[in-house]
């Protein structure tokens, strides 16, 4: 069975500090992997995606993620957090049937 696990339901960083949100997947087939961000009372917005090719994926708002097959990970990073990055972040994966399996989300707080 496919699953997506986000480690840490809440992450707090200081403004300007590194952001690291962890995501691990389990899949019997090479996955498609996505990170979405959700601001309060809004839908989900795609940050970045990995399908095939380059394992380091750059997304919007300065975020990037690296697909590491050996670690079954797809962690999201940003070198310097901004106050506007405070939101809920969801990792999602899709196997051969392309149905998205979602992590439970990580709430990111950015402190001044």
Partner 1 sequence: GAGVSQSPRYKVAKRGQDVALRCDPISGHVSLFWYQQALGQGPEFLTYFQNEAQLDKSGLPSDRFFAERPEGSVSTLKIQRTQQEDSAVYLCASSLAQDQPQHFGDGTRLSIL
Residues near partner 1, by CB under 8 A? 32, 34, 36, 41-46, 49, 51, 90, 94, 98-100, 102-105
Q: Min. distance of Cβ 80 from partner 1 in angstroms?
A: 26
Residue with Cβ nearer partner 1 (1 or 98)? 98
> For residues 37 and 74, what is the distance between their CA atoms, to the nearest angstrom?
15
Residue with Cβ nearer partner 1 (17 or 22)? 22
Burial class (CB in 10 A: 0-12, 13-18, 19+), 103: buried
Residue with Cβ nearer partner 1 (80 or 96)? 96
C-alpha closest to that of 99 among 40, 44, 29, 47: 29
């Amino acid at each position: 069975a496919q699953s997506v696990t986000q480690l840490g339901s809440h992450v707090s960083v200081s403004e300007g500090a590194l952001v690291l949100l962890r995501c691990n997947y389990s899949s019997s087939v090479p996955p498609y992997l996505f990170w979405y961000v959700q601001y309060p009372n809004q839908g989900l917005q795609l940050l970045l995606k990995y399908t095939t090719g380059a394992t380091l994926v750059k997304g919007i708002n300065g975020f990037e993620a690296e697909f590491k097959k050996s670690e079954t990970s797809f962690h999201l990073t940003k070198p310097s957090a901004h106050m506007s990055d405070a939101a809920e972040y969801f990792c999602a994966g899709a196997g051969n049937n392309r149905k998205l399996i979602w992590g439970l989300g990580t709430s990111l707080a950015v402190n001044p």
